[in-house]
């Protein structure tokens, strides 16, 4: 726990220094005409990846993960900023849909992958589950997302987005409800036992009978470290590249995998 807290303090310092660089939204050029469809897979044919930040944050939180993907063969990695003037997750999900359409037109890919940190994971879920986004999203990776809500959100400034993360909110009830049919998106949910924002920590698990979900439990990694930890970045690449898992068939069938800080995991402390 002490090591996790120390790493979290380092991550916070680094993020505060990077924050100004991510205030301006990233510009995604739309050529107006779609190029020939690309072959989906790892390397130059990998589907585009869109990164979704959390509450009161911006795209600077993904500097390390974006570089990790670009350096390992993903040619299309984009960050989506949502403003503090965004008052509702549904509104942010609609904006995400516009970004997804633009990226699909720009790259020629039919589907994209999403990685959402904290609130960003709920925005991705809303798009996939409630706005028909599963037709366009192959995989949604969520990092430290309060899928069942977090009581820490009640201590945040009074903002509608914060209230939507409180356990029992209308949004969380909506996402927990039936999807209305088969959901074509695969979910990979990475949650930490040492996440001090998601309270209680197990509320970051994603359990839904209509969704194909793999939960990955990690230790020794705090909320802010989840998007910057090198081992987690490698696992995300592994999942998005559709490579065999690092943890074996038995763990995969159980729907729960080990993470950093566990004796059977790569990079264990």
Helix (H, G, I), strand (E, B) or coil at 192: strand
Domain range annotation of the chain: 2-18+43-257
6 or 102, which is more confident: 102
Check whether 8 has a pLDDT greater than 90.
no
Q: Tens digit of pLDDT for each residue in 134-177?
A: 999 999 999 999 999 999 998 887 889 999 999 999 999 999 99
Say what the pTM is: 0.81
Q: How far is CA 184 from the centre of its chain?
A: 17
Nearest to 208 by CA among 137, 119, 142, 113: 142
Check whether 264 has a pLDDT greater than 50.
no
> Average pLDDT of 253-260?
46
Q: What is the CATH number of domain 2-18+43-257?
A: 3.40.50.1820
Q: Whole-angstrom Cα distance, residue 54 to residue 122? A: 9
- Confirm if 175 and 203 have CB atoms less than 8 A apart: no
């Amino acid at each position: 726990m002490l090591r996790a807290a120390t790493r979290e303090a380092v991550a916070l310092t680094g993020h505060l220094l990077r924050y100004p660089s991510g205030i301006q939204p990233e510009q995604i050029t739309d050529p107006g005409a779609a190029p020939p469809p690309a072959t989906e897979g790892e390397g130059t044919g990998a589907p585009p990846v869109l990164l979704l930040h959390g509450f009161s944050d911006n795209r600077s939180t993904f500097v390390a993960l974006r570089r990790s993907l670009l350096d390992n063969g993903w040619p299309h990695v984009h960050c989506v900023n949502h403003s503090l003037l965004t008052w509702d997750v549904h509104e942010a999900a609609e904006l995400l849909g516009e970004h997804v359409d633009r990226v699909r037109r720009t790259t020629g890919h039919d589907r994209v992958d999403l990685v959402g940190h904290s609130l960003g994971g709920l925005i991705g879920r809303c798009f996939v589950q409630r706005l028909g986004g599963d037709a366009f999203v192959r995989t949604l990776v969520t990092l430290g997302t309060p899928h069942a809500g977090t009581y820490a959100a009640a201590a945040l400034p009074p903002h509608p987005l914060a209230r939507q993360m409180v356990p029992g909110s209308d949004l969380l009830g909506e996402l927990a409800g039936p999807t209305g049919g088969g959901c074509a998106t695969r979910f990979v949910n990475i949650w930490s036992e040492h996440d001090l924002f998601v309270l209680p920590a197990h509320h970051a698990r994603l359990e839904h009978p209509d969704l194909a979900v793999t939960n990955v439990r990690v230790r020794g990694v705090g909320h802010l470290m989840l998007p910057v930890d090198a081992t987690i970045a490698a696992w995300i690449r592994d999942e998005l590249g559709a490579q065999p898992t690092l943890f074996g068939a038995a763990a995969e069938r159980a729907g729960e995998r080990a993470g950093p800080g566990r004796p059977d995991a790569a990079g264990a402390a």
